[in-house]
Structure 1
Amino acid sequence: MPLGALQHYTIEPSDLERTRNFYCDVLGLENGERPPLGFPGYWLYSGGVATVHLLGERKPREGIVVRGTNARFENTGRFDHIAFAATDIDGVRKRLQSNNVTFREQTIPRTGGQQIFLYDPDGVGVELNFPSANAR
């Protein structure tokens, strides 16, 4: 049975509102429709797809593992980063700089595409990929 396309990834942030603001205000995702799941959270949309799910505080229940409130997330373990297709590299640079977000750039050998790498407020890696036709 082959897998289909990636549907979403989920983050359990240390500060739900700060992380929502980062993904929406800095990276341009849209806060959208989310079912009433019985705990706070957000579904953030990219291109009409709920790509990033943010989890608020939840109570333990059967089959649900909830991280302890004293947990500190220093990194994402073996999970390295998530990548998005992007456009308007100049606009993204300005937006990141105006929000004091540290990032690095690189050019992809042979294709000439551009990449920007950054971290969200909890240290989750984010990669933005710009095709060579959009890079300047």
Structure 2
Amino acid sequence: MAIDGMNHFTVLTSDLEKSKAFYIGVLGLTEGYRPPFAFPGAWLYSGDQAILHIIAGKPLPVEAQGVIDHMAFTASNLQVVVDTLNQHGIPFKLHRLVGEHTWQLFCHDPDGAKVELDFAASEPEPRAINTQLGS
């Protein structure tokens, strides 16, 4: 058996519309085909790949389950993303990866899932960073 790549992540949500607004309106994914499951949700795409599945109507766990810490996406247009997060009042933390100089931006979705966005080292340092997560 060999792994050929990552298929998708699945997150639970307490509010499907809020989650879609974040992942579509803020992060730029698009909603696409989803099989007719018996429970509400959405499949969000990057290009033609459904990379994020959202499940609604299922209670969120009281305590975190498993050991997954965060989901990471390759991204572009750092300044546009920073401006969009600031416009929506979404706190974030931004730094350069030691040695690689890749930009790493961390924020949380409406239900608290940690999201990492990785930008090329060649992207210029953004201006007007107004909201930041604590350490």
Shorter chain as denominator, the TM-score bin is 0.7 to 0.9
* 1:63 corresponds to: none
Determine the structure 2 residue equivalent to 1:41: 41
Query: Is residue 2:135 matched to residue 1:124?
Result: no
Alignment partner, residue 12 of structure 2 = 12
Gaps of 5+ in 1: 58-66
Task: Give the number of equivalent residue pairs.
Answer: 125
Question: What CA RMSD, in Å, does the superposition of the two structures yield over aligned residues?
Answer: 1.7
Query: Which residue number corresponds to residue 93 of structure 1?
Result: 82
Tell me, in whole angstroms, the C-alpha distance in 2 between the residues paired with 1:127 and 1:111: 16
After TM superposition, give the deviation of residue 77 of structure 1 in Å: 4.8
Aligned runs of 1:1-136 on 2, under 5 Å? Answer: 1-57=1-57, 69=59, 71-73=60-62, 75=64, 77-136=66-125
Runs of 4+ in 1 over 3 A off after TM superposition: 71-77
Percent identity reads 38
Q: Distance in 1 between the 2:66 and 2:81 partners?
A: 27
Aligned residue for 1:126, secondary structure, equals: strand
Partner SS, residue 38 of structure 1: coil
Check the 8 A contact 1:75/1:123 in 2, yes or no. Answer: no
What SS does structure 2 have at the residue aligned with 1:128? strand
Summarize deviations over 1:1-54 as a string: whole Å, max 9, x none: 122211001111011111111110111110111111222210001132111101
Measure the CA separation in 1 of the matches of 2:54 and 2:7: 14
- Show structure 2 runs of 5+ residues with no match: 126-135
TM-score (normalizing by structure 1): 0.84
Once residues 95 and 123 of structure 2 are traced to their aligned partners in structure 1, the CA distance between those partners, rounded to angstroms, is: 14
Query: How high is the TM-score relative to the length of structure 2?
Result: 0.84
Gap change, CA 1:18 and 1:6, over 3 Å in 2: same
